[in-house]
């Protein structure tokens, strides 16, 4: 694929990890970083994640591809004005919710230059120092509303993701947001809630530290995730998140009731039903 000058707007965990692979796979001829956080800009240069730092308007004029790796509320605010300023540049976003950003520019005359994507990867850490080498390899990326993107923009984006080792899925933005609520967003809410439960009920921090098993650590790991990223996701995907929360709370109530009633058989059934996830996740 043809190398391009690429700007990454938001040089944190997601943008920084992508930057590493764009360098290593020789996809970028020059990589420009844009970030509102001065410490992120400084760290991104120190860590060689990008070749140089620019302000957004300067970067737009200097590159062929603009990758947006910023919180989804900021993304929706930014997109209409950004699309006004581009010429033939390709614009790609990496946001975890898709309908609001897609709808924000659905009637824009340059809509075709935009490709809506969601790489299904992340960790509980944030900032340029959290960037991971090989982060996206063997992971899925979802491309939403692909037929609304120009063919050249879509094909370059697909080639880029394939070259960094991802496998591609396509779906409509509305369907993406529903599925993301069930397989990603609820996991974070559950982890935040569990962490708050333990911190409320177990006041001895040393006991938590000493007794926490691998199971607890893996379950609560996501509770360390950046609130500035996750609050906008929950708010933008409110309808789907509330739906999955309703079902999740109903499931918790079934466990509570079976334990209260000492209903061994129903408890066995609930856990047995949960074990069926083995068919999907090894």
Question: Residue 199's pLDDT is what?
Answer: 84
Read off the pLDDT band of 38 (50, 70, 90). Answer: very high
Q: What is the mean pLDDT of residues 142-158?
A: 98
Question: Residue 198's pLDDT is what?
Answer: 84
Residue 116 dihedral angles phi and psi, to the nearest 5°: -90, 120
Q: Is residue 141 packed enough to be buried (19+ CB in 10 Å), middle (13-18) or exposed (0-12)?
A: buried
Does the pLDDT of residue 236 top 90, yes or no? yes
Read off the pLDDT band of 277 (50, 70, 90). Answer: confident
Single out the residue of 181, 190, 177 nearest to residue 249, CA to CA: 190
CA dihedral 76, 29, 49, 136 (to 10 degrees): 70
Distance CA 24, CA 3 (A): 12
- The rounded mean pLDDT for the chain is 94
The helix or strand, by DSSP H or E, that contains position 171, with its residue range, turns out to be strand 167-171
Higher-confidence position of 242 and 220:
242
Bridge-based pairing of strands 114-119 and 140-144 is antiparallel
Q: pLDDT tens digits for 66-76?
A: 999 999 999 99
Q: pLDDT tens digits for 170-218?
A: 999 999 999 999 999 999 999 999 999 888 877 767 766 666 666 777 7
Domain 176-279's class?
Answer: mainly alpha
Domain coordinates in residue numbering, the chain: 4-171, 176-279
Beta bridge pairs of residue 92: 67, 115
Three-state secondary structure call for residue 139: coil
Q: What is the mean pLDDT of residues 84-98?
A: 98
Question: Residue 218's pLDDT is what?
Answer: 78
Question: Residue 206's pLDDT is what?
Answer: 72
Q: What is the mean pLDDT of residues 239-264?
A: 97
Q: Give the predicted TM-score (pTM) of the model.
A: 0.90
Q: What is the mean pLDDT of residues 82-98?
A: 98
Q: Which CATH number fits domain 4-171: 3.40.50.720, 3.40.50.12780, 3.20.20.210, 3.40.50.1980?
A: 3.40.50.720
């Amino acid at each position: 694929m043809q190398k391009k000058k690429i700007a990454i707007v938001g040089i944190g965990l997601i943008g920084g990890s992508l930057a590493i692979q764009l360098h290593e796979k020789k996809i970028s001829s020059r990589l420009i970083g844009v970030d509102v956080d001065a410490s992120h800009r400084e760290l991104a240069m120190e860590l060689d994640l990008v070749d140089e730092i620019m302000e957004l308007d300067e970067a737009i004029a200097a590159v062929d591809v603009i990758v947006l790796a910023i919180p989804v509320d900021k993304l929706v605010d930014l997109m209409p004005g950004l699309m006004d300023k581009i010429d033939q540049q390709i614009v790609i976003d990496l946001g975890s919710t898709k309908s609001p950003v897609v709808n924000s520019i659905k009637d824009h005359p340059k809509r075709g230059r935009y490709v809506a994507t969601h790489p299904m990867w992340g960790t509980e850490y944030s900032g340029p120092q959290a960037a991971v080498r090989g982060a996206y390899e063997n992971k899925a990326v979802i491309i939403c509303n692909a037929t609304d993107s120009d063919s050249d923009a879509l094909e370059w984006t697909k080639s880029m993701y394939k070259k960094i080792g991802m496998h591609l899925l396509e779906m409509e933005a509305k369907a993406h947001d529903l599925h993301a609520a069930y397989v990603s967003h609820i996991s974070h809410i559950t982890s935040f809630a569990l962490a708050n439960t333990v911190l409320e009920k177990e006041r001895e921090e040393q006991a938590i530290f000493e007794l926490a098993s691998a199971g607890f650590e893996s379950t609560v790991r996501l509770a360390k995730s950046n609130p500035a990223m996750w609050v906008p996701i929950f708010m933008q995907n409110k309808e789907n998140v509330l739906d999955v929360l309703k079902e999740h709370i109903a499931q918790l109530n079934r466990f509570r009731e079976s334990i209260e009633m000492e209903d061994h058989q129903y408890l066995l059934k609930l856990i047995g039903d949960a074990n069926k996830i083995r068919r999907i996740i090894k």
